[in-house]
Amino acid sequence: MKFLSKIFVLCLVLISLTEIKAQNVNQKIEKVKVFGNCTMCKQTIESAGSDPNISLVIWDPGTKIATITYDDTKTSLSAILKKIAKSGYSNEKYKAKDSDYKKLPLCCQY
């Protein structure tokens, strides 16, 4: 009986691992320079580029590098970077419009 229960638990673990791996098949991770200054910038950059179940942006104010994790079947790196630029923060690929940049608080204008 103990042998059967161990096999059952092992099967459950393997099924769980297979499901987790299947969920991450389309996941891409990119690192991109995004210009900004402070923790307010961090909040704005991360919220502009993050979308539940689609993308997650983590920005480091010290290095000015954003780590972007996204599902490439639902969005693209370019689409995420355009959203960040639209929020006023230029990045490696897209420059923020002056009108969007000027809306940033003074401490966030780099």
pTM for this entry: 0.77
Kindly list the distances between the CA atom of residue 53 and the CA atoms of 4, 8, 13, 61, 86, in Å, as whole numbers in the listed order. Answer: 37, 31, 24, 24, 21
pLDDT in tens, 25-41: 789 999 999 999 999 99
Q: How many CA atoms lie within 13 A of 63 on its CB side?
A: 9
User: Could you tell me the fold of the domain covering 27-108?
Assistant: Alpha-Beta Plaits (3.30.70)
The pLDDT value recorded for residue 30 is: 97
Higher pLDDT: 108 or 24? It is: 108
- The domain segmentation of the chain, as residue ranges, is 27-108
In the DSSP assignment, the letter for residue 92 is S
The pLDDT value recorded for residue 62 is: 96
pLDDT at 17 over 60: no
pLDDT in tens, 72-92: 999 999 999 999 999 999 999
Question: Residue 4 — very low, low, confident or very high, per pLDDT cuts 50/70/90?
Answer: low
Taking residues 7-17, what's their average pLDDT?
48
Plot region of 46 (φ>0 → left; ψ -120 to 50 → alpha; else → beta)? alpha
The pLDDT value recorded for residue 10 is: 47
